[in-house]
Amino acid sequence: MQWDGNTSIILDVMTCLGVALPVEVKNIAFAGTFRLIFRRLVDEFPCFGAVYYSLRQKKKLDYTLKVFGGDMTAIPGVSDAIEAYRCHGYLAGVAKPYFEVVATRIGWNHPDAVEDSIMWPVRKVIRILPGDHSLLPGSIHPNSILYQLHHLQTLNLAYNDVYPSSIPHNIGGLTNLRHLNLSDAWFQGKIPTEISYLSNLVSLDLSNSYALELDERTFETMLQNLTNLEAGEIPDSIGNFSSLKYLNLQQCQFSGSIPDSIGNLTLITELDLSYNHFTGRIIPSTISKFKHLTRLDLSSNSFSGEIPDVFSNLQKLRYLDFFNNSFIGPFPASILSLTRLEHLGLSSNSLSGPLPSNTSMLPKLIHLNLSYNSLNGTIPSWVFSLPLLYSVSLQHNRFRGLADEVIKTNPTLKELHLSNNQLSGSFPQSLANLTNLETLGISSNNITVDEGMNITFLSLSSLFLSSCQLKHFPYFLRNVNTLVYLDISNNKISGQIPNWFSGMRWDSLIFLNLSHNSLTGNLPQFRYDNLGYLDLKFNSLQGPLPSSICNMSKLMLLDLSHNYLSNSVPHCLGSMGLLTALDLKRNNLTCYGLEVLDVGNNAINDTFPAWLGILQELQVLILKSNKFHGPISTCHTEFCFTKLRIFDLSRNDFSGSLPAKVFGNFKAMIKLDGEDIGNIKYMTSLLNSPFVTSYENSVSLVIKGQDL
């Protein structure tokens, strides 16, 4: 509400000298924010019974004060002095020696008392019609029938006047509630712990409830149980829980910035705000107050700016993770002074610059993850020499190399990930000093391995050397007997697969990727009977598939595509129960004996496979319920479905006319087996295979999209 009047009020004000001064108040302007509530709605004109009004914030009053026609408020300091007198009952500055304004006579002395009497939530009532027109006048009885509505999903008591009621404990019985709004209802007292029983709540509004109290136990229980709440921002009132020691808001859908008041939680030991939608910067002064903190997890949010370099105050910290945010700037060097830190995760940010080269003081660090940043320079030697370190993840950065110092012997480091950096030169032989290393990833670097390099990794189980500059099979693999994963794909390895490699007894090997090289010659007889993943695509291999493939009964993926392999496909591939992906395209392999091909009820999106006509023994072709499209094209081969007897194209998107040339080849459909010798049979397998027999019993007829 605003009021602006061009008024002119002239007063004769007696000074202490006994002289009357004409004081003129002009251009009075009033601005204030009011809340008006019209209730209750009734049938009688004017359709509401009363008007409730209150002042939402302190009003603003502007005016011009003139003495002898001169604008006193324009004199520096006078306006402030008058305002001070208006608010506090005294007149300061230069004005007092010259005149005394009897302010109390015009109501300026204690305006706060007037304002507070109508400040929200206090409300004044102007009754329009007789009667009580409040929505819920007075208190709500704890045994009200309201709390027996156990199937209630939405309860809205907002903008009622239930003073002096408290939230009853039996509200916890409304377990089906999804939306609860108690805002502006003037409840008082403690929020009952039973409110945390409402585990189905999606929204909870207790705003403008100034007389409500929330103790720590209830707050913690609410955070644990109300996991379905669609949270907003953390309120400033979080700072009121100054004795709180544990706060876990993981995956609560909070957003906005962290209020500065959280710095009041100076006794907190664990703070987990991970997997939310928080934004903004981290205030250095806030973090530095958490001297008792042992765990700080801000991962998977949208924090930005630099990470404050104030960790030297957090000497009790054991777990620190800022994974998956938008932090920029350098690595905060003060982290290196945390003598109790066990886990450090700053991955998936935009940190840049080199790592500090000074000796680290992280004697208890076990896990270090700085991956997916833009860190550069050389990797300092302290990264590999921490006494309890188990894993180091530095992949996807811009590191150029290792420090000149030789890596010291470290028996604790088990995992080292350096892939996707800018490392160059020969394979760093000093890595062999990591005597118990189990996983080594150096893929996507400019690393080469000297053919005769002979180092030993006694415990190595996973080696990733793809997309480097390898020209030979790493000879040091002869000293490794524990391999589980080996990836040397996308290199420049040429020639035949060496006999020493194919003859290795890697009984634990389950993943082998040699794809995208220049391998030639025949495939050797592998001895990897437990292999589950074999990828040899995009090479120049030739000849038949080795019989040893039939011993790989645990194969789930076999990709031999884009080679020059020839001869027939081994029948054993059809009996591998775990095989889910078989890719043999772009070879010279054949399946001349195939009689039944059923790819129905899939999502194959392709044109008609006319090339299948070369399968001279094919009798059943089921393509139904896929996404085949386009015309049914004719064959361009010598044979074209000459023995086909069952042909199902239903539930696809084929178009055009039926080509007579294709259907004219279906001679076998009108011929019965053995009719020339009087022993009439239909579709009997030459091998009397039980598979074909079982298939015969499952053939269904489809006419116009209907299964018969």
Indicate yes or no: pTM above 0.85.
no
Q: How confident is the prediction for the chain on average, in pLDDT?
A: 79
Kindly tell me if the per-residue pLDDT of 172 is higher than 80.
Answer: yes
Q: Which amino acid is at 595?
A: E
668 compared with 401, residue with greater pLDDT: 401
Number of folded domains that form the chain: 1
User: Per-residue pLDDT tens for 106-133?
Assistant: 333 344 544 555 665 566 666 666 655 4
Residue range 483-510: mean pLDDT, rounded: 95
Assigned domain for 543 exists: no
Share of the chain above pLDDT 70, in %: 72
Compute φ and ψ for 267, nearest 5 degrees. Answer: -100, 0
Handedness of CA 370, 371, 374, 375 (dihedral sign): positive
Assigned domain for 508 exists: no
Which region among 292-301, 443-452, 656-665 has the lowest average model confidence (pLDDT)?
A: 656-665
DSSP output for 664-678: TT-GGGG--BTTTTT
Assigned domain for 618 exists: yes
Quick one: DSSP state of residue 170? G
User: Per-residue pLDDT tens for 530-573?
Assistant: 999 999 999 999 999 999 999 999 999 899 989 999 887 787 87
- Cα–Cα distance between 186 and 164 in angstroms, integer? 8
Q: Which residues pair with 14 in a beta bridge?
A: 20
Assigned domain for 488 exists: no
Assigned domain for 650 exists: yes
Residue partners of 348: CB distance under 8 A and separation at least 6: 323, 324, 325, 371, 372, 373
Q: What is the pLDDT of residue 578?
A: 85
Dihedral angle, C-alpha 91, 95, 99, 101, nearest 10 °:
-40
Assigned domain for 11 exists: no
- Cα–Cα distance between 533 and 579 in angstroms, integer? 10
234 compared with 355, residue with greater pLDDT: 355
- Cα–Cα distance between 185 and 587 in angstroms, integer? 77
SS (H, E, C) 400-432: EEECCCCCCCCCCCCEEECCCCCCEEECCHHHH
3-state secondary structure of 660: helix
Residue partners of 582: CB distance under 8 A and separation at least 6: 557, 558, 573
User: Per-residue pLDDT tens for 184-240?
Assistant: 777 888 888 888 888 888 888 877 766 778 787 787 788 778 777 766 788 887 888
SS (H, E, C) 173-234: HCCCCCEEECCCCCCCEECCHHHHHCCCCCEEECCCCCCEECCHHHHHHHHHHCCCCCCCEC
199 closest CA partner among 170, 181, 176: 176
- Cα–Cα distance between 561 and 570 in angstroms, integer? 15
Q: What is the pLDDT of residue 601?
A: 83
CATH code, domain with 661: 3.80.10.10
Q: What is the pLDDT of residue 123?
A: 62
Kindly tell me if the per-residue pLDDT of 696 is higher than 50.
Answer: no
3-state helix, strand, coil in the chain (%, to 5): 15, 25, 55
- Cα–Cα distance between 350 and 642 in angstroms, integer? 63
Question: How many CB atoms are closer than 10 A to CB 547?
Answer: 10
Assigned domain for 620 exists: yes
**Token code pair at residue 146:** 């309201």
- For 320-335, letters b (16+ CB in 10 Å) and e give bbbbbbebeeebbeeb
Residue partners of 494: CB distance under 8 A and separation at least 6: 471, 517, 518, 519, 520
User: Per-residue pLDDT tens for 8-55?
Assistant: 666 655 555 565 666 666 666 555 666 666 665 666 666 666 776 677
Q: What is the pLDDT of residue 667?
A: 80
**Token code pair at residue 56:** 């939402």
- Cα–Cα distance between 407 and 416 in angstroms, integer? 13
Share of the chain above pLDDT 90, in %: 36
3-state secondary structure of 150: coil
Res. 82 pLDDT band, cuts 50 70 90: low
Q: Domain range spanning residue 632?
A: 596-678
Handedness of CA 217, 222, 224, 225 (dihedral sign): positive
Question: Which helix (DSSP H) or strand (DSSP E) does residue 393 occupy?
Answer: strand 391-393
- Cα–Cα distance between 156 and 182 in angstroms, integer? 6
Kindly tell me if the per-residue pLDDT of 474 is higher than 80.
Answer: yes
Q: What is the pLDDT of residue 699?
A: 57
- Cα–Cα distance between 405 and 569 in angstroms, integer? 54
- Among 214-223, 497-506, 589-598, which range has the highest average pLDDT? 497-506
- Cα–Cα distance between 16 and 439 in angstroms, integer? 93
Assigned domain for 217 exists: no
